[in-house]
Amino acid sequence: MTSDTPHGDLRSFGRRRGRKPTSRQAALLRDVLPRVALDLSAPCGGPTARDTQVPSETWLEIGFGGGEHLLWQAERHPAVSFIGCEPFEDGVIKVLDAIEHQRLTNIRVHMGDARDVLRALPDGSLTRAFILFPDPWPKRKQAKRRLVNATTLDLLARAMRPGAILRLATDIGDYARTTLEAIEREPRFVWLAKSPTDWRVRPPDWPETRYEAKAAAAGRQRYYFSFRRL
Ligand SMILES: C[S@@+](CC[C@H](N)C(=O)[O-])C[C@H]1O[C@@H](n2cnc3c(N)ncnc32)[C@H](O)[C@@H]1O
């Protein structure tokens, strides 16, 4: 399989666009996105384009989907600077709508591949990172497209500071297994689980996402992992 990007990453996401945006949605993309878009040449320049205060902490969500988790965390942690990455336009529109109507000033958005953000971030700049239910790519031939692999963990380990926490969830047993194997091979991360409850039960400060609700409704086991950057 050939690489899909200049850095050799394989495309890890599905479609970028759903339905044609309504005029109101198009206005959000035109007017709000440029205000809150992450500047990859100065990704830690401030909490948002509107606020120049230097944040004490930066949390990154990779593949925020409809933004349920990103918005929940951003509302509860106003002093934290959030970076949300999502290539799917419809999801980005949902977050832009919430940013605008709830007047959230602590979220910056990258409508694209999170690995480009990880490469641009200064070393040790993240205190938390979230990858919740990455695209499963369940077929054997597609498994190479899974976002969680040695390269992504290397990028995360560099961008996260020692002590930072990486939260990761999946509803695919094989993805859970390959994630733990990759973590095992990456000496800069350690799995924090002490008992099965730690990976079977979602912590209270971790809201349910849309994808997760569908997985639960379909009766699929969900795996919740927390890793510490050493
Ligand atoms: C299965 S969905 C889950 C969405 C959301 N986290 C949830 O739990 O509802 C996976 C999401 O990850 C996004 N994604 C996949 N690869 C990505 C990448 N390299 N950078 C950023 N987002 C990515 C996809 O576009 C998709 O929206």
Question: What are 169-185's pLDDT values in tens digits?
Answer: 999 999 999 999 999 99
Residue 18 placed within a domain: no
Q: Which residues pair with 62 in a beta bridge?
A: 85, 131
Is 47 within the bounds of a domain? Answer: yes
47 has pLDDT over 60: no
From 148, 211, 212, 223, mutation site for ligand 1 pocket: most ligand atoms within 8 A of C-beta: 211
Q: How confident is the model at residue 90 (pLDDT cuts 50, 70, 90)?
A: very high
Cα-to-centroid distance, 105 and ligand 1 (Å): 23
- CATH code of 29's domain: 3.40.50.150
Percent of the chain with pLDDT over 70: 93
> Which carries the bigger pLDDT value, residue 18 or residue 26?
26
pTM: 0.95
Residue 2 lies in a domain: no
Q: Choose the residue to mutate in 3, 144, 147 for probing ligand 1, maximizing ligand atoms within 8 Å of C-beta.
A: 147
56 or 158: which leads in pLDDT = 158
pLDDT at residue 52 is higher than 70: no
Residue 49 pLDDT > 70 = no
CA of 52 to the centre of ligand 1 (A): 28
pLDDT tens column, 63-76: 999 999 999 999 99
Count of domains observed in the chain: 1
Two structure tokens written together for 53 = 């205060």
Based on the residue annotation, tell me whether 4 is a catalytic residue of this protein: no
- Tell me whether residue 117 is in a domain: yes
Three-class SS string for 12-53?
Answer: CCCCCCCCCCCHHHHHHHHHHHHHHECCCCCCCCCCECCECC
Residue 126 burial (10 A CB sphere; 0-12, 13-18, 19+)? buried
Q: What is the mean pLDDT of the chain?
A: 94
Give the gyration radius of the chain's Cα atoms.
Answer: 17
SS3 126: strand
Q: Is residue 15 part of a domain?
A: no
Domain extent at residue 184: 23-229
Q: Examine residue 17 and state whether it is found in any structural domain, yes or no.
A: no
Query: Is 78 part of a structural domain of the chain?
Result: yes
The pLDDT of residue 53:
55
Question: Which pLDDT belongs to residue 54?
Answer: 59
Q: Is pLDDT larger for residue 50 or for residue 221? A: 221
For residue 9, tell me if it sits in a domain: no
